[in-house]
Amino acid sequence: MKRTLLSILLSSATFSVAFAQQQPQFSHYGFNGMYLNPAYAGIKGQGEITTLGRYQYLGYNATFDDGGSPQTYTLSASLPVAAVGGGIGLSVFRDRIAQSSITNVQLSYSKHLKVGEGKLGIGVQGIFNHLSKGQYRPADEKPDAAVPRDGSDQKFDAGIGVWYESDKLYAGLSTNNLLRAEYRFKSEGGTNSAKVIGENHAYLTAGYNIEASPSVVVTPTALVKMVLPGKFGDNNKFTFKNNSYEAGVRATLNDKFWGGVGYRYDESITGMLGMSFAKDNALRFGYAFDFIAFNQEARAFSSHEIMLSYRLPKPGPATRPAIRTPRYSF
């Protein structure tokens, strides 16, 4: 699934529907479950705060005044809450692509159930999307209904997901933009002719921890991203061209240092390095480099991504257990 610039979609959309990927991608998807799935909220049993900055296709220069390289910044937080039988989460991202930008806020709740050796989370989320088109210079002076004029639109949407987490295995499936909200914008012709549909995006991800030695854990990971155009029940909703496939493996030493490689189908090869700091290795820093090895048209040589996260201490018991000794047992 090639990432098509939303700016191009907006500028060419006249009473049309946008079918391309509209949401950002991350190479650190194995550390960013809260962005992928509302059921992830609190599933680790401890609070987490994660921030990511991504500069995709560094140096790509399109016909836009500000270039065409997507730039994405995201902040997510997750916290277990015993009082609600699960966890809550918050995810915010801003994605800028040439003249256009998307600001997205997701508030999530996950209900946790004990299943086997792990926990199953069932999550729901409320979503707020704000789309801004930016400004365009028409090729001629005549107003063109297909050329957007500076403006924006915002809508509420919803998402659902499930997530299973154990010491060795995690797996999740989610979908967002269930309402497929319609965003309308004024054009150079002064009409509300340009519109974009907030497409459903589905995420299927999994990982497995293999204890290669007492100090080394090897974790294969995978992620399938699906853009689901059309209404539910349409025959062409699930097609190969609307999917993106990623797989990778990383090795972690003493829960402190890690390195890994990944592959994104028909696009890039990824390398990543990271390390943890502070007490209990709670503070983590990671860097990922994407080499764009395939289909380099409308792309640049590389993408870069930085991650910083903090894991809060696991909550202890609400009250300290009574300590009994033989001295006071008479």
Residue type, 43: I
Alpha helices in the chain (DSSP H): 6-12, 33-36
Q: What is the pTM of this model?
A: 0.83
The pLDDT score that the predictor gives to residue 199 is 83
Examine the pLDDT at 38 and tell me if it is beyond 90.
yes
Task: Give tens-digit pLDDT for 202-224.
Answer: 999 999 999 999 999 999 999 99
Q: For residue 274, is it within any domain?
A: yes
3-state secondary structure of 239: coil
The two tokens of residue 138 are 């028409």
Is 324 part of any domain? Answer: no
Judged by average pLDDT, the poorest of 2-16, 113-127, 199-213 is: 2-16
Give the whole-number percent of the chain exceeding pLDDT 70. Answer: 72
Task: Establish if 1 belongs to a structural domain.
Answer: no
> Higher model confidence: residue 104 or residue 292?
104
Read off the pLDDT of each residue in 268-294 and give the average, rounded to a whole number: 93
Q: In whole angstroms, how far apart are CA 171 and each of 39, 40, 121, 221?
A: 11, 10, 10, 10
The answer to whether residue 237 sits within a structural domain is yes
> How much is the pLDDT for 96?
85
- Give mean pLDDT, residues 321-328: 52
At 94, which CATH number?
A: 2.40.160.40
* Assigned domain for 323 exists: no
Spatial CB neighbours of 144, under 8 Å, sequence gap ≥ 6: 138, 187, 188, 189
- Give me the domain span that covers residue 245: 22-312
- pLDDT: which is higher, 112 or 153: 112
145 token code pair: 């209904």
> Does residue 232 fall inside a structural domain?
yes
In a domain, 246, yes or no: yes
Number of domains making up the chain:
1
Which of 248, 270, 250 has its CA nearest to residue 260? 250
Is 308 domain-assigned? yes
Three-state SS at 6: helix
